[in-house]
Amino acid sequence: MNFIRIIAILFLNFNFLFSYSQPVNVPWPDIVDSSDLVDTRSKPIEYQVKQIFRFPETGVSADNMFPGARLNDMFMINDSTLQVQILPENHPVNMSPWYAFRIWSETEQTIYLKLSYKHGRHRYYPKLSSDNKHWVPVDPSDYFSEPGDTSALFRVHLKHDTISISAQENITSDVCIRWVDKMVKKQFISRHTIGYSTLGRPLYGLSISESDGKNLLVILSRQHPPEITGYKEMIAFVESISDNTRLARKFRKKFETIVVPMMNPDGVDNGHWRHNAGGIDLNRDWRHFHQPETFAFRKYILEKIKKQNARVCFGIDFHSTQEDIFYYSEKNVNPDKKGITLKWVNSINQLFPDNSFNPEPTGITSQVSKNWFFNEIKAESITYEVGDNTPRDIIKKRGKEAAKQLMKIMLKDI
């Protein structure tokens, strides 16, 4: 039975990979700015060597032998300081240097860790965890660097127990799958395998609906592995749409919500800074669809539109950056009608004046998901950027309220 299942999975992967290799030509406006033109054909990546680093002189050891890890090398600078070498999967690459490793000691001691980046600058304030569930930032008194430095120095107090150290909370594909498993226990939520990643991991989509499927809200997340805050706000957002409230029930009777919570499971589990296993920024592959992840998403949405005679009413791509931003298209899909975005962001900002979003209009020529929604399926959409350091309690509250505000607006205006 197991052999038959393996053969079936290999067959499905082969058929999928064959289909996605066919060329895609999406209608696109002329590109004037050369920075908007990105070659998204696969490039080689460098895999880190999974290993344990041991320092007998101090009794300290560290490793990268777990999903989401990124630790390329480690060596002693002196008897109290270890240098942690962090390399990207390939370069050039966005300055989002992810790191994650475990460290332990035979004796209680305090040591210094110096994060050193090749092809990168420091961005993420280190977090600590003893159980990989609850994370706390390094105490400010133990931190001696500034964002943008080419290295970062901080102090950790080691005991016998293992400590996980990570750029952000380490939320891997297994964690996402457990969340999907929890969500599909609700009667009105179903799971679909929309395709497979470069390395053969399944790409899961959720359908949240009690409607006829004619009106779609489409959500995606984790194109970029380190962007945890955007993922966390997406979780709160989707759970709000799935709540047993009068508003959510009413929304589900009119709209089907499609969610692909983790677009890049290969990059996530391999601790990538930015790219998928094909060495490409997925959020630059929404014009030619060279990568299997974006190809699968497009194919799934277009087939759903055709099969259900549906329209995409709105699209949301959750990301993270240094601040809270809504990127939206400077052009309206329907010039005769005002869009949803500005009304929505204003309603959120009224509720969260101290953690408001900056709405920023952009063009429609860069090869990002927002512009695919606009150019091919004529749908309004945004890139929903959450700040790296936005407080986690705010993320949870704001994601929930943002969903409520959008549901109200869509029920009224569509």
pLDDT tens-digit readout, 340-374: 999 999 999 999 999 999 999 999 999 999 999 99
Residue 39 sits at the vertex; the CA angle it makes with 34 and 42, to the nearest 5 degrees, is: 160
Taking the CA atoms of residue 235, residue 385, residue 265 and residue 148 in that order, the dihedral angle to the nearest 10 degrees is -130
Q: Which amino acid is at 236?
A: A
**Which single residue is written with the structure tokens 């999928």?**
16
Domain topology for 52-166: Immunoglobulin-like (2.60.40)
What pLDDT score was predicted for residue 148? 79
Q: For residue 12, is pLDDT > 70?
A: no
Q: What is the DSSP string of 38-87?
A: ---S-----PPPP-EEEETTTTEEEE--STT-B--EEEEEETTEEEEEE-
Question: For the segment 188-234, what is each residue's pLDDT rounded down to a tens digit?
Answer: 999 999 999 999 999 999 999 999 999 999 999 999 999 999 999 99
Domain topology for 173-413: Aminopeptidase (3.40.630)
Tokens encoding 368: 């990002």
What pLDDT score was predicted for residue 7? 52
Structural domain spans, the chain? 52-166, 173-413
Residues 6 or more apart in contact with residue 18 via CB below 8 angstroms: none
What pLDDT score was predicted for residue 331? 86
pTM score, whole prediction: 0.94
Rg (CA), the chain: 22
Q: For residue 400, is pLDDT > 80?
A: yes
Tokens encoding 26: 């999406």
CA 123 to chain CA centroid, Å, is 16
- Helix (H) or strand (E) holding 344, with range, is helix 341-351
What pLDDT score was predicted for residue 5? 45
Query: Mean of the per-residue pLDDT values for the chain?
Result: 94
What pLDDT score was predicted for residue 10? 53
What pLDDT score was predicted for residue 75? 97
Q: Where are the alpha helices (DSSP H) in 255-340?
A: 265-269, 292-308
Tokens encoding 237: 């957002």
Least confident piece of the model among 25-34, 130-139, 355-364, 382-391:
25-34
Residues 6 or more apart in contact with residue 138 via CB below 8 angstroms: 125, 126, 127, 128, 154, 155, 156
Q: Write the CA distances from 280 to 108, 284, 288, 322, 327, integer angstroms.
A: 43, 8, 12, 22, 21
Of all residues in the chain, the percent with pLDDT exceeding 90 is: 87
Question: For the segment 92-126, what is each residue's pLDDT rounded down to a tens digit?
Answer: 999 999 999 999 999 999 999 999 999 999 999 99
CA 225/CA 173 separation, integer angstroms: 10
Question: For the segment 162-198, what is each residue's pLDDT rounded down to a tens digit?
Answer: 999 999 999 999 999 999 999 999 999 999 999 999 9
Q: Which amino acid is at 14?
A: F
Whether cis (ω within 30° of 0) applies to the bond prior to 92 is yes
What pLDDT score was predicted for residue 17? 53
Are the folds of 52-166 and 173-413 the same?
A: no
**Which single residue is written with the structure tokens 């309220």?**
401
Q: For residue 1, is pLDDT > 90?
A: no
Decide if 297 contacts 219 (C-beta within 8 A).
Answer: no
3-state secondary structure of 114: strand
338 pLDDT tier (thresholds 50, 70, 90): confident
What pLDDT score was predicted for residue 269? 99
**Which single residue is written with the structure tokens 């749409």?**
241
